[in-house]
Amino acid sequence: MNFLSCLLVNNPCYRAGVALKPKGIVVHSTGANNPNLRRYVQPAVGQTEGMGGKSSAALLQLLGKNENGNHWNGVTSPAVCVHGFIGRLADGTVATVQTLPFTVRCWGCGSGSKGSYNSSHIQFEICEDGMESPDYLNQVWQEAVELCAELCRRYGIPVSAIRSHAESHRDGYATNHGDPEHWFTRFGRTMDQFRTAVSKALAGQSEPAPSEETVQQVQRRFGFSNDTMAYLKAYRFAAALLKKLAEQP
């Protein structure tokens, strides 16, 4: 996991500072074609706290600057805030950025007929692209799996308590949204598969990513397009498959 911290100190949710005892996790996706973390996360002017020991300038270099000023480190409309985001840094690599202390109540999923998981669950957003790239989904999926495994370890959260926003609504504890399942299902993925991956990560059995050397070797050997390689890399057992293809006589 590529983990950074940039707490949203000017967001009213952060300032409210309502205590949270985490009992579960809600996985969101943003619903917008913008995979860049800078869209949502920026250090405030003069900010010194909650940045993982990095300076404001160093974080801005990593994130890139949001020229539109519509990030969440301030008052948002509607009033929203989550514990973290997963998406692309300025150099295109995928990272996780913590934006609220995990023991502070967020404003993430709204309320349902039974109440709100805001009072009990850590919540994070995965920045969507155009939902056409299996390679990007594979990267953010793995990052989210590793984040959830770490949170489950740290707070004693059962894997069964990891819910999508859509599941949270069906549970009766969130507004009626379809994320991130509307994205996952485009590539044949489910929340049950996600929870299984988290369980494997907790047990130290997560599938390794294929090495870039192996990927390039297979592409050169078989002349596969970049799109085909992206689909192969998104395969659950991609490392083993690509290694076998690379080693075929």
Cα Rg, the chain, nearest whole Å: 19
pLDDT at 204: 86
What's the predicted TM-score (pTM) here? Answer: 0.84
Give 125's pLDDT tier (boundaries 50, 70, 90).
Answer: very high
pLDDT at 246: 80
Tokens of 178: 């379809």
Q: Where are the domains of the chain?
A: 3-202, 212-247
pLDDT at 227: 67
What pLDDT, in 10s, does the model give residues 41-95?
999 999 999 999 999 999 999 999 999 999 999 999 999 999 999 999 999 999 9
Tokens of 63: 């994130």
pLDDT at 241: 77
pLDDT at 224: 86
CB atoms closer than 10 angstroms to residue 24: 22
pLDDT at 237: 64
Nearest to 81 by CA among 7, 146, 3: 7
| ∠ CA 108-111-114, rounded to 5° | 135
pLDDT at 215: 84
What pLDDT, in 10s, does the model give residues 191-206?
999 999 999 999 986 5
Average pLDDT, the chain: 93
The reply to whether omega before 180 is within 30° of 0 (cis) is yes
From 3.40.50.150, 2.60.40.420, 3.40.80.10, 3.40.47.10, which CATH number describes the 3-202 domain? 3.40.80.10
pLDDT at 211: 76
Examine the pLDDT at 30 and tell me if it is beyond 70: yes
Q: What is the rounded CA–CA span in Å between residue 185 and residue 193?
A: 11
When mean pLDDT is compared across 54-58, 117-121, 235-239, the lowest value belongs to 235-239
Nearest to 30 by CA among 87, 70, 77, 105: 87
pLDDT at 186: 96
Give 216's pLDDT tier (boundaries 50, 70, 90).
Answer: confident
